[in-house]
Amino acid sequence: MRTISPLNAIIVLGVCLTTALPIIAAITLARDQEVESEQRHALDIAHRVLSRSEVSGDQILAAAQAINALSPGMACSAEGLAVMRKIDLESTLLQAVGWVDGDVMRCSSFAGNQPFDLGPPDVDSYTRTRFRNNVTLIDPKQRYIAVQIGSAVGIVHHDAVLNFVDYVPGLSVGAFSWSQRTPGAFRGTIPSLIRRPDLTGDTVISSGNYQIAIVRSRKYDIGAFAMLPVGKSSGYASEIAGILIPLGVIVGLLLSGVLLYIVRSRASMPMMIRSALKRGKFHLLYQPVIELRTGRIVGAEALLRWDRGEHDAISPDRFIAVAEDAGLIRLVTGRMLELLAQDVQAVVQIAPDFYFTVNFSAEDMHSADIMEELDRLVERSRIAYSNLVIEATERSLVDIEKTQKTMRRLRDAGAKVAIDDFGTGYSSLGYLAKLEIDFLKIDKLFVQSLGTDAATSQVAGRIIDMAKDLKLAIVAEGIETKQQERELKALKVEYGQGYLYGRPMELEDLRKLLRHQRAVEGVLTRPRVA
Ligand code: C2E
Ligand code: CA
Ligand code: CA
């Protein structure tokens, strides 16, 4: 049975996550938007019910003032009835007004002197307002609310404060007495929330399958509620979901596409490196190394480049790391040494003491064959070991014994050894003391933070002190400014490398620089002819 490798499992998991997470995020977002929009809708309905109730209250209050101004003797006279009919006509929400004595409405704007028994009040509020919530008058099917203040009564149809509310299936709405927590006009079910003693003002909550909004009047002892079933109301929410969810799907697919692209291009890179090695698609550039005191070019670091055309460049940092992971680094180093062998003679002819710096990976340092390879290079290119500096990174110190052995053999043969990128890895002073090395290369990170406030700015100084204690020469990398150069010189750093002196360049350009340097030096040292 085939098993899935951990890497493939991680990739599959990564693809699933990058697809699913944006979709889940979109759904959650759409859901949140929906809840928010439904709660806003519920609140809006409750506010409208409340404001209709308040308008009814205003009209009842105005009517009561006018009616209570009539004397009991004349209230139900022709004159009193005329006043009541006028009020009835002018008020938009009152069905009728009347005069009450005890529980009986003696006369009214709509039935003259015909009496109606209103029954006892349901709510006798602290404002001395009496509510009767289920009054029937002429038609037994029509139910009214009778609000009595003093002897005056205003009759409001149950639907008057509710009938403007949009029809939403399952919606419950109503008005209620705030202090008594008893409902007045309402439709559907009354949420138990209105009876909660901790309810003090406007509230919106999600409860079960409903959004419940409750609002309280600042004018009257009344509140209003709306209980809106979830998922029934807002077209806006589904519109948002209609945008967000496809967007989530697109982002998810794009992300997993990018992930797959990265994984595939990484996975296929070792194959491409192999093929580039076969087809001779690598070449070397050289970056000058300067003696800081004199400004002379004393050496150059050989830096590998992969010829892939300008638009498809891959930095050596990346392809070297891939080659190391894929077990191809020994082949890459082999090619680098072959390329170097072709170039060195042309330089040594101009500057016999010149040295070439080459980068070795951990595996090169650990390899038993490395000396044979170097022997071949030296022999084929007719240079001396003293023309070579081998740079090993701190990573090669993982197997310190093998590395120590290689270093000793290199130095015995006459080459010099440097520790590259010092300070970025995990080597300690203890390790350094055990190694037979000549140079320490301070990483550009520390050089570039010299004179800044960065936490790393102190590190260069410490590394330099340490190197001096161990009697190691120092090469500072990544010098880009005169200021950095000045600071390094003040710290007595011997060598430097960086864009200030030259970017990695073609062999021919390096030769030109060296010829120029030799010419200048020739002029300076030639005895003056009188
Ligand atoms: P490295 O050994 O630390 O090489 C120095 C890097 O710093 C080079 O990058 C160089 O171009 C860059 N550099 C030099 N001066 C400056 C400067 O003033 N400012 C800035 N910002 N950068 C500067 P490059 O050529 O891209 O090489 C990157 C890394 O790839 C090298 O870092 C080295 O670790 C590795 N590499 C390159 N060629 C080889 C090789 O043949 N074998 C091995 N094993 N590694 C190599
Ligand atoms: Ca290097
Ligand atoms: Ca370096």
What pLDDT band is residue 237 in, cutting at 50, 70 and 90?
A: low
Q: In angstroms, rounded to a whole number, what is the distance separating the alpha carbons of residues 39 and 35?
A: 6
Q: What is the pTM of this model?
A: 0.58
Amino acid 2: pLDDT: 45
- Picking from 5, 131, 121, 116, the residue whose alpha carbon sits closest to that of residue 56 is 131
Confidence of residue 257 (pLDDT cuts 50, 70, 90): confident
Return the SS3 of 491.
coil
For range 239-251, the mean pLDDT: 78
Q: Which two tokens stand for residue 163?
A: 């009938």
What separation in Å is there between the alpha carbon of 327 and the centre of ligand 3? 22
Split at pLDDT 50, 70, 90, the class of 374 is very high
Output the pLDDT for position 306: 95
CA distance 102 to 153: 12
- Give the pairing of strands 416-422 and 203-207: unpaired
Across 97-112, average pLDDT: 94
Single out the residue of 155, 164, 108 nearest to residue 133, CA to CA.
Answer: 155
Domains identified in the chain and CATH numbers: 16-264 (no CATH), 282-525 (3.20.20.450)
Q: DSSP class of residue 401?
A: H
- With 90 as the cut, is the pLDDT of residue 425 above it? no
Residue 428: what pLDDT?
Answer: 65
Give whichever of 122-126, 136-140, 161-165, 370-374 has the largest mean pLDDT. Answer: 370-374
Helix (H) or strand (E) holding 148: strand 144-149
* pLDDT of 412 strictly over 70: yes
Ligand 1 contact, 444 CB (< 6 A): yes
CA dist 466 and 428 (Å) reads 11
The more confidently predicted of residues 261 and 58 is: 58
Tell me the per-residue pLDDT of 23-48, one tens digit each, with 9 for 90 and over: 788 778 877 888 888 899 899 999 99
Contacting residues for 343 by C-beta, under 8 A, at least 6 apart? 284, 286, 507
pLDDT (0 to 100) of residue 466: 87
Nearest-5° Cα angle at 97, 96 to 102: 125
Question: What is the Å distance from ligand 3's center to 414 Cα?
Answer: 22
* Least confident among 61-70, 80-89, 117-126, 167-176: 117-126
CB burial of residue 235 (10 Å; 0-12, 13-18, 19+): exposed
Which DSSP string do the residues of 186-249 spell out, in sequence order?
EESPPPGGGG-TT--S-EEEEETTEEEEEEE-SSSSEEEEEEEETTSS-HHHHHHHHHHHHHHH
Does residue 484 line the site of ligand 1, with CB under 6 A? no
Cα–Cα dist 346/482, whole Å: 31
Q: Does residue 303 line the site of ligand 1, with CB under 6 A? A: yes
| pLDDT > 60? residue 1 | no
- Ligand 1 mutation target, pool 367, 477, 479, most atoms within 8 A of CB: 477
Q: Alpha-carbon distance 392 to 168, whole Å?
A: 76
Q: What's the CA gap between 181 and 216, in Å, rounded?
A: 11
pLDDT digits (tens, 9 = 90+) for 151-185: 999 999 888 878 777 778 889 999 998 888 888 88
Do residues 250 and 231 touch, judged by C-beta distance below 8 A?
Answer: no
Q: Is the Cβ atom of 453 under 6 angstroms away from ligand 1?
A: no
The β-bridge partners of 391 are 359, 418
pLDDT at residue 315 in the model: 93
Q: Which atom of ligand 1 is nearest to the CA of 320?
A: 45
What is the average pLDDT value for the chain, to the nearest integer? 88
Cβ atoms of 496 and 289 closer than 8 Å: yes
